[in-house]
Amino acid sequence: MSAHIIDGKAVAARLRARIATQVTDFVTAAGRAPGLAVVLVGEDPASAVYVRSKGKATREAGMESIEHRLAADIGQAELLALIDTLNADPAVDGILVQLPLPEGIDEQAVITRIDPDKDVDGFHPVNVGRLATGLDGFVPCTPAGCVMLLKETIGDLTGLDAVVIGRSNIVGKPMAALLIAESCTVTVAHSRTRDLAGVVARADIVVAAVGRPEMVRGEWIKPGATVIDVGINRTEAGLVGDVDFAGAMSVAAAVTPVPGGVGPMTIACLLRNTLISAHRRAGIAFDERAA
């Protein structure tokens, strides 16, 4: 038996094509394109790559890409002032501050300064609360993409046992909330969970987001499970996920590869959140089923 490889690139490409179509309709209705502002502080190489990728994808979708590249030694007050300016700018529908920020800048203070209705990353405490209580808000892009991949692969998730390995605010916690909303039975595990192998072995769905190379072994996985690997770890052998891919392929029903699985979905969902924000701010109905 060899698992189905979940092609995140293909799913993301289809989503981005649907978004581009809706952007065209929005421009006709609103007389302007949706605008995404991305703020990069410093010269972190990985962050610079992400920002370039996001800018390219934004422009390809027909949206306005507004980039602010700031020196690493910028003061926190100056950064917060820029966010205030973007909050007030009617051409900006989404604001994303690329993390991590340099030492000396309080990340939570920066995230909290962003208008929750322009927080297309879904990190503001208001949006976290909206997700936890089942209200409409912006959902963090990586967990949103994971759910899309699961539904594309499995269909209805109702009643399935899901294990989320990792408890970060960016992936683990919102992932658990989204799976609960899909009527899964959810366990949140982490690197300090007792008998992690036993916990994973019960799961129909495994979402690994713990940040440790190939920590989740193939022999832990329940035969026929679906495995979503969020991890991206640089090793001497190249990029690997949090899951032993070869081992998982021999027992699971479906597995995301690293790279080419979750990553493309993250950017596609960022564009989707920006499009949703633009519709809300313009008072134009957004067709959830179309994107």
26 CA to centre of own chain: 24
DSSP H or E run through 50 = helix 45-60
* SS3 call for 20: helix
Query: Which distant-in-sequence residues (6+ apart) come within 8 Å of 205 by Cβ?
Result: 150, 154, 157, 160, 161, 162, 163, 179, 184, 225, 226, 228
Strands (E), the chain: 4-5, 35-41, 64-70, 94-97, 161-165, 185-189, 205-208, 226-229, 233-235, 238-240, 254-255
Q: What share of the chain is helix, strand, coil (3-state, %, to 5)?
A: 45, 15, 40
Q: Mind telling me the catalytic residues?
A: 54, 98, 121
